[in-house]
Amino acid sequence: MTPPELALEQGMAKIDKRNARKKAAAGQPTMPTVPTIPESPTAPVEVVGRVLFLITTTDFGGTESILLELVKRMRGRGLELEVCSLCAPGQIGREIEAAGIRVTTLDMAADASFSELVKGAWRLARMLDDRKIDLAQTFLYRANVVGAIAAKLSKRKPVLISSQRSLNPRGFRTAARAVRWTRRFSDLVVAVSDAVRDEVLTTEKTRGDKVVVIRNGVDTDLFAPRDGSAMRAALGLRDDVLVVGGVGRLAPVKGFEHLVNATALAIERGVDVETVLVGDGPQRAELEALADTLGIAEHVHFLGMRRDLPELYAALDVFALPSVQEGSPNALMEAMASGLPVIASPVGGVPEIIDDRHSGILVEAADAERWADAIERLDGAPRLRADLGRNAREAALESLDIEMTVNSHAELYANMIRDRRS
């Protein structure tokens, strides 16, 4: 056992022993009733209570953007909301603060050690008590761990909900052990897809009634079909070329190398196609080199981080998601709401979002030949593109609107706070 693992075992064992003594003295507490989450709630839920959202960072990202929507849209429902970030506030944190929501930070380093996480948990426990927090929900790995320990150390014992937003997010043994140790301190786990829920149940041996699914959502008014000619002109893209685009972190898990390879094959077959990649990350230089090696550097456009996503989606003809692993990708839902035909890999929660050959086309990520086939097919079938895009938009309106996500969380908070108080 490595030193970090040993420290984890010893730290968690101490907490277990202390809490076991308290339970023995006070009697075993009952488990809060786990509410049923409605598929499509429509009415806002109002309940008085203090809710704290704990997240690892508030830099620009998918989870951070969902948190921004939650806190902005949940205001005025009888909930006093605040956000705490383990690391210094980023762009999303500043936007949350500008919306009038209190944002605090534990000022941890991005690569904080386990001992630093425990120290942060003690500080957070005091915050939960001082601010009389009724319920805390945690987002992302480190926040899940710190929040669980803090809730256990807190005298107030708020309801604790942890989030699981991806498949296999833990790539090393110490992290996996930390999640297993601390997840049991949560009253409930919210998964963003059935696939994520199934993995939590399988890998963590969590009870089925402790894991519920609340799917991500997008603003279907903001992400909607619109004219993209101005953005195409700004990007130097011709009106008569097929523009295929992907949005996400440039990292191996997103599989963008498969899209670059498919672009090269499609061009070899005579398809007039330009590929646009929006985002940044550790694989950018590698992807740029790959495009250069394949002789298509002038056909693959790296735009970096952008905040004008609705306009960028409008400039695309086809959205591509070649990921090798996904939980419930925000970019996919944004593209569908924007009325784009989609080619995506059938991983994680993606098949729960896309109805193959109705609201999109599912292709295995690593099969560049089939990706090139799909690109070639859509290039020659504008009516098919229109049908897929229209069906994608209808699916987004029916089941992917952000208000459904917000209402489901609000009802969950209401039920669990009432149960804890009863």
Cα–Cα distance, 400 to 334 (Å, whole number): 9
CATH number attached to the domain at 28-217+402-421: 3.40.50.2000
Residue 248's pLDDT is 96
Q: How far is CA 207 from CA 41, 146, 192, 279, in A?
A: 25, 21, 17, 37
- 360 DSSP assignment: B
Is a pLDDT exceeding 80 seen at residue 188?
yes
For all residues of the chain together, what is the average pLDDT? 88
Is a pLDDT exceeding 60 seen at residue 9?
no
Q: pLDDT for 269-300, tens place per residue?
A: 999 999 999 999 999 999 999 999 999 999 99
Predicted TM-score of the model (pTM): 0.87
* Range 229-399 has CATH code 3.20.20.80: no
Report the candidate in 149, 175, 174, 172 with the shortest Cα–Cα distance to residue 160: 149
Q: pLDDT for 340-379, tens place per residue?
A: 999 999 999 999 999 999 999 999 989 999 999 999 999 9
Q: How far is CA 409 from CA 44, 77, 382, in A?
A: 10, 12, 39
Is a pLDDT exceeding 70 seen at residue 22?
no
Residue 44's pLDDT is 52
Residue 112's pLDDT is 82
Report the candidate in 369, 375, 323 with the shortest Cα–Cα distance to residue 344: 323
Is a pLDDT exceeding 70 seen at residue 106?
yes
Concatenating the DSSP letter of every residue in 218-246 gives B-TTTS-----HHHHHHHT--TTSEEEEE
Q: How far apart are the two ends of the chain, measured CA to CA in Å? A: 43
Split at pLDDT 50, 70, 90, the class of 84 is very high
Cα–Cα distance, 301 to 287 (Å, whole number): 11
Helix, strand, or coil (residue 79) = strand
Residue 174's pLDDT is 66
Q: Structural domain boundaries of the chain?
A: 28-217+402-421, 229-399
Split at pLDDT 50, 70, 90, the class of 60 is confident
Split at pLDDT 50, 70, 90, the class of 110 is confident
Decide whether 28-217+402-421 matches 229-399 in CATH topology.
yes
Residues 167-193, mean pLDDT to the nearest whole number = 77
